[in-house]
Amino acid sequence: MIGEDCMALATLIGPRGTEALLRACPVEPAVYRRGGSELDERITLPLIGAYIDHGLTDPAFTAAVKDGKAAHPGRFSRDGKLRPGKLRELFEGGHTVNLRHLQTRVPYLAELCREIEAETGYTMFVSGLVTPPGAQGLTHHWDQFLAVVTQLHGRKRWPLWHPEVQFPVDEYLASPTMWTAEMQERWNSTEPYMVFDLEPGDTLVMPRGWVHSPHCLPGDPDPSLHLTFALRERMSLDLAEALVRTALDRPEFRTGIAPIRLTPENLPDTLTDTQTQIVRYLATTSPADVANTVRAALFPKPAG
């Protein structure tokens, strides 16, 4: 099986999910039962609570959101530091606390992410989200990454709608820039395409662009804790850029371009010359000869 050696990825989605993800980029959401993995033993509600209460996260990567509205960062931070107790107050008042880039703060997650990056060739980050019982943080939106959502404590409902845009990325078709009131009205007035209720041990794999509005269920006594592992899938453009970068060995690609050739009136001709140069290089370059160089650019070295 293709996923037999991908133990880190299997920690999130189990062997079956790993096999599926490595063979094809997912196009529809799916839930996998990972069981009691090391992730569930290492990342617990008390641990994340300690990070919140003791200010162990970066305010720049911290948010408190209630019913789609984010609290101003000044309510929980000052001068680049978290204000003691303020995040806990917001949580007790119904805000979801979102701790982004946890892999830069939690050693276990740093190691896990390095291993997954080495297994997949994708880059990634991790967000930890704690939602009070019966509450909701963000409302309808979509992500610009492949989201692997691991439920660790409590229960959370995930209603999903079909994508509004195809294959969004951070700098193109992002949810905050594309959202419209018409979209919101449509989501409010139509039933979701599918609904998942995630419990501890469940992992939702959600492709880029799928609209979601997760929330805790009324009457559930426990808060919800989940981690979102944001995997940035490699695109054809990534391979093309890495392939062109192999031309760095050629002196003609390293020569400078005079400023006059970059002016508005001259740039089209300069681009034409550059295009001709690149096409000639690619036409005479064997993919087999540069494959190792491209792979080294895309796959980080394994930890250790």
CA nearest to 136, candidates 215, 195, 65: 215
Determine contact, residues 15/34, Cβ cutoff 8 Å. Answer: no
245 and 121 in one domain?
A: no
pTM of the model: 0.92
251 and 134 in one domain?
A: no
227 and 83 in one domain?
A: yes
Residues 173-187 have a mean pLDDT of: 95
What is the per-residue pLDDT for 3? Answer: 41
Q: 214: exposed, middle or buried (C-beta count within 10 Å: 0-12, 13-18, 19+)? A: buried
What is the per-residue pLDDT for 2? Answer: 40
At 273-291, the pLDDT tens digits run 999 999 999 999 999 999 9
Kindly tell me if the per-residue pLDDT of 180 is higher than 80: yes
71 and 134 in one domain?
A: yes
Q: How many domains does the chain have?
A: 2
Q: Which domain holds residue 32?
A: 7-233
214 and 173 in one domain?
A: yes
243 and 228 in one domain?
A: no
